[in-house]
Amino acid sequence: MTAEQTAPPQPGSGPVASQSASAAPPDVRIGVIGVGRMGADHVDRLSRRIKGARVSVLSDYLRETAEKVSATAPGSRVVDTWQEVIAAADVDAVLIASPGQFHREQVLACLEAGKPVLCEKPLAMNPSDAYDVVRAEHEAGRALVSLGFMRRFDAGYGQLKDALEAGELGTPLLLNCKHRNASVLPGFTDTHMVYDSAVHEIDAISFFLDEPVVSVQTVMPRSTEKAPEGLHDPLLFLFRTASGTVVTDELWVSTDAGYEVRTELVGSKGAATVGQEAGMVTTQQAGSRWGGAVPLDFRPRFLAAYDAEVQAWVAAVADGSNIAPRSATAWDGYVAAAVCEAAEQSLAADGAVAVTLRDRPA
């Protein structure tokens, strides 16, 4: 039997299930949809650093890009369409890294095929589309959808979550977030500020506080002269949760400097900050300055988090649980989309905009 003819594992059983105790489990065969900047990064980690998996099939709307990336992933092959990736017999699980507007349809197709999927954020570009995925997964009767909010796998994020769960910080009063990018791609708009960037802090609220956001307000300082035409940058978002915790998110995406993501939790028993590490701090630079270095973008800054996220997902697929502990789910993707919608509305609103959530399927 060739690899192509091998039957995919029964969904939920994982590719390991049929192996004897002594045999090494077979690699999970991953199909990757979209191999631009983020997808190519995932192919690289799957081919070089992740244990127990390999890329078997990939596609991109630019065939030439797909061919180039495939050449770096031993044993992979290119197909013309994303539908072929999902349907391929030698694909056990799917990683989606295409642009956000395609995610709903592609994740629904994975559910239809009964294949576990790790989809890059956002799950969808609006709450209604995201809820379609929640409903379809519920109807399928099995949890298959993981969402790529990689910060959940960052070591600092994990420590802060542990401290909160252990009660070390007391009751959360404030969550103060800072998110800075050196620059953004051409065409980046205020909508991208919300759905592409602030969405990470919006998911951080679910991750750390585990309760719904009830309202969001945007405060617009004057923009930096470095902001691309038409972009309001920086922005300050204020979120309020059901129990009264306030979350501030200072988002500035054209600093022309480095990449910084800092998160401070102020609790009734104490405050804790993560994301300040700068590697080596130099105190004897020329000109009597002191300082360290910041990474230029999110890939080096969150490399270890991405690796941990994909490794945990591969392990979950292999053991049949399909979704790693602490991973974002389809529901988290829906919640993020609902909060993003209110945040986008708040850009033009005078005051806070309420967030409403549909019922969570049992």
Residues from 149 through 188 that contact ligand ISE (CB under 6 A): 181
Rounded-to-integer distance, Cα 54 and Cα 222, Å? 48
Task: Compute the half-sphere exposure of residue 283: CA atoms within 13 Å on the CB side of its CA.
Answer: 0
Q: Are strands 77-78 and 246-252 parallel, antiparallel or unpaired?
A: unpaired
Q: How far is the CB of 295 from ligand ISE (least distance, A)?
A: 11
**Which stretch, 135-143, 193-201, 209-217, 270-278, contacts ligand ISE (CB under 6 A)?**
193-201
- Shortest Cβ distance from residue 32 to ligand ISE (Å)? 17
**Residue 298 binds ligand ISE (CB under 6 A):** yes
For β-strands 28-33 and 53-59, DSSP reports them as: parallel
| List 27, 92, 196, 309, residue binding ligand ISE (CB under 6 A) | 196
| Segment near ligand ISE (CB under 6 A); pick from 194-202, 212-220, 223-231, 316-324 | 194-202
Contact of 336 with 197, CB cutoff 8 Å = no
Q: What is the DSSP string of 224-246?
A: PTTS-TT---SEEEEEEETTS-E
Least distance from ligand ISE to the Cβ atom of residue 203, Å: 11
Interface region with ligand ISE, contact rule CB under 6 A, candidates 157-165, 195-203, 213-221, 332-340: 195-203
Kindly state the smallest distance separating residue 191's Cβ from ligand ISE, in Å.
12
Helix (H) or strand (E) holding 247: strand 246-252
Considering Cα of 303, then 307, then 310, then 316, what sign does the dihedral take?
negative
By C-beta, is 60 or 196 nearer to ligand ISE? 196
Q: Which is nearer to ligand ISE, 47 or 254 (CB)?
A: 254
Using CB under 6 A, which of the segments 53-61, 86-94, 98-106, 192-200 binds ligand ISE?
192-200
Query: Of 208, 214, 331, 216, which is closest to residue 272 (Cα–Cα)?
Result: 208
Site for ligand ISE in 227-286 (CB under 6 A): 253
**CA–CA distance, 242 with 245 (Å, rounded to integer):** 8
Q: Which residues bind ligand ISE (CB under 6 A)?
A: 181, 196-197, 200, 253, 298
